[in-house]
Structure 1
Amino acid sequence: MHTIRLGEDLSSGKHWTRAAALTDRASSAVTCDNLELPDRTKLPTFISSIYKMSTITTPALQTSYPPILPKSFNANQPKTIRLFPLSNYTFGTKETQPEEDPSVLARLKRLEEHYVEHGMRRTCEGILVCHEHNHPHILMLQIANAFFKLPGDYLKPEDDEVEGFKQRLNERLAPVGTQFSGEGVNEEWEIGDTLAQWWRPNFETFMYPFIPAHVTRPKECKKLYYIQLPRQKVLSVPKNMKLLAVPLFELYDNTARYGPQLSAIPHLLSRYNFEFVDEKGDVVAVTPGGGPEEGYVPKTIVLAGGDDETMGEADIKEENGVQ
């Protein structure tokens, strides 16, 4: 005996049967309020056709009642992004990379010297996204237990934008020498869309996602790019930093901890639809998709590093844009 549960046709006022028994005879069929169930051999295809417009993929079904589906709502949508699980990636540590400046004031002084000689500074940072329990997580660095930043740095005056950015990413996250081998080691970075531009109008800590009307010569432009992570990759973080996987849930509307730039990342990513892939390569959820496992609460995960933390609390707040 095989049992199948079907939903309700609310639009017509007629209810489908909630349980239809299919016998072992391959030719059998059951008719229920004008709905004819096919024979057993075609049953998987029948069920798949019911769910093909659903936000939950067929292998991940957890309910036997088909949802009521609206008309298509994907006009002018950018391409869907595929996210791989955090467990697909390997994390390690490498030699300490001291900060160039002992304080925020020293950094702003060096910015002023750069501007006098080379003009506006160009800074590139990457938004690297994976998932844990079907919830997007952002990979970011943490210094001194509280100062958060995205991977990347300012470009040298002679650097090409994209190639220079790849070099900065390698300096921060690429493994050294033959520490690791196999798939995902020192592969080329895939630089995606520019998601935001932040402007520094003066030699101060404040940056804005626009150029103020009275400013004609901004001192720095910081661009945030989406970085498409491959199925597997090896990442190494300097020992004086931590590499964290921070859920969007934690970043959203949390300027007190992360500052205005990082807390805006959920807004920047909201334009995309996601496909969440498991370790086997199967798509287990899509936007808006099924939720995480029961009882799971998204939280920041420390992946590597954090052996040497020396930055002061006052500098931390200024760097994160928290006054």
Structure 2
Amino acid sequence: MSTITEVALQSSHPPIIPLSFNGNQSETVRLYPLSNYTFGVKETQPEEDPSVIARLKRLEEHYSQYGMRRTCEGILVCHEHNHPHILMLQIANAFFKLPGDYLRPEDDEIEGFKARLDERLAPVGRIGEGEERGDWQVGDCLAQWWRPNFETFMYPFIPAHVTRPKECKKLYLIQLPKSKVLSVPKNMKLLAVPLFELYDNTQRYGPQLSAIPHLLSRYNFEFVDDNGKVVAVTPGTGAPDGYVPSTKVLAGDDTEMNEGIKEENGAA
């Protein structure tokens, strides 16, 4: 931080430094570079339901037997050239979702959520070889979305006339460690999506995912380079000249990491 400030003060037009503006600030989040992580693929995980109608029917059956469905999804954040990127799944080149899923009726919330993250992203063969199950740092709950009826619409509030919502989905911040191995099912893609791509982009990503930049705006970030040094903070230095953040395919669907920039035709 001091180095960044010193560089700024050496400018021919030094900035005017205001009083501290960090009252009641959430804890600063440290982000590690995308290059720190290893990505692979594992066996296909077919969707449980062949259609939206079938999915809503299964939700209705779940509700009649167990009550409101509990769903947890994770916002996994890293950075590339000091710009935050969200790790996100794309299924059948058609829609995007965060890692996670509904909890089993008997599951504890956090432990059940960790188990669902393992199912989606834990590499086969690594569990039991120096890595433990549920090795996820589940942070703050950033949002709750409610499904008032057996329909596709979810809301960030419970409508006034609804007393028995059918599903509650929580979005949790997952703080990634310095390095980690992640594997995605063959029928899915793991993407790194920059915040600017999500912001105000409901047409492509839908209201839940496009709201992520708003949810993360509460945090200040520290950006760590490949050598483990903090090289930028929020606010702080920007990306290198000429760099434009873009979505990257990391793994899945017969792709290799760093294959390049790809645009997919998808719906939210």
Q: Do these two structures clear the TM 0.5 threshold for a shared fold by scoring above it?
A: yes
2:247 and 2:141 mapped to 1: Cα distance? 25
2:71 is the alignment partner of 1:123: yes
Does structure 2 retain, via aligned residues, the 8 Å contact 1:57–1:285?
no
Equivalent position of 1:32 in the other structure: none
Does structure 1 retain, via aligned residues, the 8 Å contact 2:142–2:173?
yes
Alignment-mate amino acid for residue 159 of structure 1: D
Q: 3-state SS of the aligned residue for 2:124?
A: coil
User: 1:75 is matched with which residue: 23, 28, 44?
Assistant: 23
1:257 and 1:146 mapped to 2: Cα distance? 10
1:191-270 → structure 2 map (5 Å cutoff): 191-270=138-217
User: 1:176 is matched with which residue: 111, 124, 147?
Assistant: 124
Q: 3-state SS of the aligned residue for 1:108?
A: helix
Equivalent position of 1:271 in the other structure: 218
Q: 3-state SS of the aligned residue for 2:232?
A: strand
Taking CA–CA contacts closer than 8 Å with sequence separation of 6 or more, which of the two structures ends up with the larger relative contact order?
2
Change (3 A) 1:90 1:57: farther
Does structure 2 retain, via aligned residues, the 8 Å contact 1:126–1:226?
yes
Residue 64 of structure 1, CA deviation = 2.8
User: 1:156 is matched with which residue: 104, 112, 128?
Assistant: 104
Q: 3-state SS of the aligned residue for 1:76?
A: coil
Does structure 1 retain, via aligned residues, the 8 Å contact 2:146–2:157?
yes
Alignment-mate amino acid for residue 241 of structure 1: M
1:283-298 → structure 2 map (5 Å cutoff): 283-298=230-245
Equivalent position of 1:64 in the other structure: 10
Change (3 A) 1:188 1:180: closer
CA deviations over 1:160-212 (Å, ceiling 9, x no partner): 00000000000000001149977x78671000000000000000000000000
CA deviations over 1:65-90 (Å, ceiling 9, x no partner): 24221100000101100000000000
Change (3 A) 1:147 1:107: same
Q: 3-state SS of the aligned residue for 2:125?
A: coil
Does structure 2 retain, via aligned residues, the 8 Å contact 1:57–1:286?
no
Alignment-mate amino acid for residue 89 of structure 1: Y
Structure 2, unmatched stretches of 5+, are: 256-265
Alignment-mate amino acid for residue 232 of structure 2: A
Relative to the length of structure 1, the TM-score reads: 0.75
User: 2:95 is matched with which residue: 147, 153, 170?
Assistant: 147
**Count of aligned residue pairs for this structure pair:** 256
Equivalent position of 2:263 in the other structure: none
Structure 1, unmatched stretches of 5+, are: 1-50, 309-315
2:122 and 2:210 mapped to 1: Cα distance? 26
Alignment-mate amino acid for residue 145 of structure 2: W
Alignment-mate amino acid for residue 67 of structure 2: G
Does structure 1 retain, via aligned residues, the 8 Å contact 2:148–2:164?
yes
Alignment-mate amino acid for residue 64 of structure 2: V
Equivalent position of 1:36 in the other structure: none
Alignment-mate amino acid for residue 10 of structure 2: S
Q: 3-state SS of the aligned residue for 2:85?
A: strand
CA deviations over 1:37-82 (Å, ceiling 9, x no partner): xxxxxxxxxxxxxx83x8x366xx4783242211000001011000
Structure 1 runs of 4+ off > 4 angstroms?
A: 178-182, 184-187
2:204 and 2:254 mapped to 1: Cα distance? 21
Does structure 2 retain, via aligned residues, the 8 Å contact 1:92–1:304?
yes
Change (3 A) 1:290 1:185: farther
Equivalent position of 1:39 in the other structure: none
Equivalent position of 2:137 in the other structure: 190
Relative to the length of structure 2, the TM-score reads: 0.91
Does structure 2 retain, via aligned residues, the 8 Å contact 1:82–1:277?
yes
Change (3 A) 1:129 1:82: same
2:129 and 2:228 mapped to 1: Cα distance? 21
Does structure 2 retain, via aligned residues, the 8 Å contact 1:57–1:284?
no
Alignment-mate amino acid for residue 218 of structure 2: R
Change (3 A) 1:101 1:90: same
RMSD: 2.1
Does structure 2 retain, via aligned residues, the 8 Å contact 1:241–1:307?
no
2:46 is the alignment partner of 1:107: no
